[in-house]
């Protein structure tokens, strides 16, 4: 049989757990609100991309549209996206290794390619 002290300790423990749960819910709600705001901020870009794709698809003959004209490749662009913080596993190293191998096998000089780097890990490496 539980004593009065044990019962009071369980009540206190339950209240503290409830406080922690409420705090975690508030943090989650805040993060969700920020994520929704970020998603809504991309709406104009999505709309413009949809317009461009519709315009390209609307042309009957694919060679008529200037975005579909075949031309020689002079320079290759690489967009490298890595994380800034941890918990990415081997993602960062795999991405960097793949891009580095691509660059070393396909290009002789740095004039043949351009890098756009997103993330601290790739920025520090390249």
State the chain's mean pLDDT as an integer: 88
* The pLDDT of residue 61 is above 70: no
Query: pTM for this structure?
Result: 0.51
Q: What pLDDT score was predicted for residue 81?
A: 93
Strand-strand pairing, 113-118 and 76-81: parallel
Task: Return d(Cα 116, Cα 100) in angstroms, integer.
Answer: 13
* The pLDDT of residue 1 is above 90: no
Do 104 and 55 share a structural domain?
Answer: no
Q: What pLDDT score was predicted for residue 16?
A: 95
Do 2 and 53 share a structural domain?
Answer: yes
Kindly state the DSSP code that residue 108 receives in the 8-state scheme: S
* Per-residue model confidence as pLDDT tens digits over 25-60: 999 999 999 999 989 999 999 999 999 888 877 776
Boundary residue ending a domain (30, 45, 68): 68
* The pLDDT of residue 74 is above 90: no
Do 62 and 10 share a structural domain?
Answer: yes
If 0-12 CB within 10 Å is exposed, 13-18 middle and 19+ buried, where does residue 5 land?
Answer: exposed
Q: Who's near 42: CB < 8 A, 6+ residues apart?
A: none
Domain that holds residue 57: 1-68
Boundary residue ending a domain (68, 102, 117): 68
Domain total for the chain? 2
């Amino acid at each position: 049989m539980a004593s009065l002290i044990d019962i009071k300790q369980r009540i206190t423990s339950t209240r503290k757990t409830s406080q922690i749960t409420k705090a975690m819910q508030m943090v989650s709600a805040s993060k969700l609100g920020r994520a929704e705001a970020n998603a809504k901020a991309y709406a104009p870009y999505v709309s413009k991309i949809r317009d461009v794709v519709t315009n390209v698809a609307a042309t009957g003959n694919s060679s008529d549209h200037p975005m579909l004209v075949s031309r020689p490749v002079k320079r290759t662009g690489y967009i490298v996206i890595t994380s800034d913080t941890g918990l990415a596993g081997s993602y960062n190293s795999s991405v960097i290794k793949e891009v580095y191998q691509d660059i070393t096998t396909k290009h002789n000089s740095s004039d043949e390619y351009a890098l756009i780097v997103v993330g601290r890990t790739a920025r520090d490496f390249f």
